[in-house]
Amino acid sequence: VISGTFETLRSQVKSESCVLTVCDSPVVIWPNKGVKATPDEITPDTLCEEIHQVYLILKKPEFKLLIKLHKLSLSVLINLSLTHHHTHYSSVKLLSHCKRFVFWCCSACERLVEALAHQLCEMEKVTLQHMKGTSLLVPEPFHFLLPEPAGLVTVVYPAGVPDSQLETQRKELHQQFELPDDRPYFRRANAYHFPNEPYRDGYLRNPHLVLTHPTLDDGKVYLVQGIYSYHHYMQDRMDDNGWGCAYRSLQTICSWFQQQGYVERPVPTHREIQQALVDVGDKQPSFVGSRQWIGSIEVQAVLNQLLGVTSKIMFVSQGSELASKGRELANHFLTEGTPVMIGGGVLTTGQIRYLILDPHYTGAEDLQVITDKGWCGWKGPDFWDQTAYYNLCLPQRPKMT
């Protein structure tokens, strides 16, 4: 029955009732008809029947199968509910303010249909592999952006089965795509996030990506690798203004390890950070619930206690010495790629610039304000106290994953 159902789905994908819509775009495609629609042809008052029933549903109104290929988000809709027994078609508010249209070639449509059919095959395999009696686990497709030439690939996992139980499958995928074993690529946290999809937790990701790199003679840019969340003062209904900056920097680092798939635990709260320091013997029990500062050494201890992550500490006796650490920092970003926490005074001289994510920001999650006001930005010599000392915490990637 399961195999027959998936075969029916594959047939429908290859039939003329299949419709592709590009998310957040006025593009409507019937890949198996060679038909496309322009904004002038479709309006909010256009009947479903007139546009080949573009907004058609699979039995349940909430069902919507999503396929994403080459970083382009597409919705796939199939007409099953509107049959010959229904003679009245309601209009669909589909498009408005359409300004552009993308033309598709037949070969691209064929590849999209083939990819979707293949994904359904993989979903069938996973469903059959993990069924127990009449109990079924929902097959969930995940999309992973791999190093070239692989690009974006789709892998299906059974819902409810933790990553720790899928290690054999992930090892096979690493071998298939000739990927190293010292970092995660196929854990759920590694799944590609399309630009127009909002994050449910509300935190901004990688605000530095909207910045323009500084211009230096013969200069090279070395950046954090992967994805992190921006944590700063006053988030999570927590008033830590004036004392919680290192806690927030630590949370940003923890988010990096979580979103790269190294750990599954959520980003720790202030209280969990304080309790970890008590557990390792660094603080007294009264420290929990206090408003006391922490620094780079404490960040190093918490990363090891909660995540099992080791860190190197780089000590700089005064800000004017930071320029001499440029190559060492560049090598860190090149080999480890983790965010660096700066504790002590506040780094740079000469022909070096530092990309700083400042946890002292107290406003809303407004990317333009954060970048325009310099809360995330490239900093030059005038930004730093040249006489203050600094401890830099450089987290290291785990070597075995």
Which tokens in the block code for residue 294?
């922490």
Would residue 282 show up in a list of annotated catalytic residues for this protein?
Answer: no
What pLDDT sits at residue 212? 87
How many beta carbons lie within 10 A of that of residue 254, not counting itself? 27
In this structure, is the dihedral angle defined by the CA atoms of residues 102, 106, 109 and 115, taken in order, positive or negative? negative
Which fold, 244-395? Cathepsin B; Chain A (3.90.70)
What pLDDT sits at residue 339? 94
Would residue 245 show up in a list of annotated catalytic residues for this protein?
Answer: yes
What pLDDT sits at residue 33? 72
What pLDDT sits at residue 134? 83
Write out the chain's pLDDT in tens, 401 residues.
899 999 998 998 888 878 777 777 666 777 777 655 555 555 656 554 554 443 332 233 333 333 333 456 777 766 554 433 333 323 233 222 223 333 345 567 788 888 889 999 999 999 999 988 888 899 999 999 998 888 889 999 999 999 989 999 999 999 999 998 888 999 999 999 887 778 889 999 999 999 988 777 777 888 999 999 999 999 999 999 999 999 999 999 999 999 999 998 999 999 999 999 999 999 999 999 999 999 999 999 999 999 999 999 998 877 667 677 888 888 999 999 999 998 754 434 345 677 889 999 999 999 999 999 999 998 875 665 666 777 889 999 987 65
Catalytic residue among 245, 254, 376, 393: 245
How many beta carbons lie within 10 A of that of residue 262, not counting itself? 21
pTM over 0.85: no
Q: How far is CA 323 from CA 44, 108, 129, 381, in A?
A: 59, 50, 57, 10
Catalytic residue among 208, 358, 376, 393: 358
Catalytic residue among 70, 193, 213, 360: 360
> Taking the domains of the chain in order of start, what are their residue ranges?
1-35+75-190, 244-395
Distance between the two ends of the chain, CA-based, in angstroms?
38
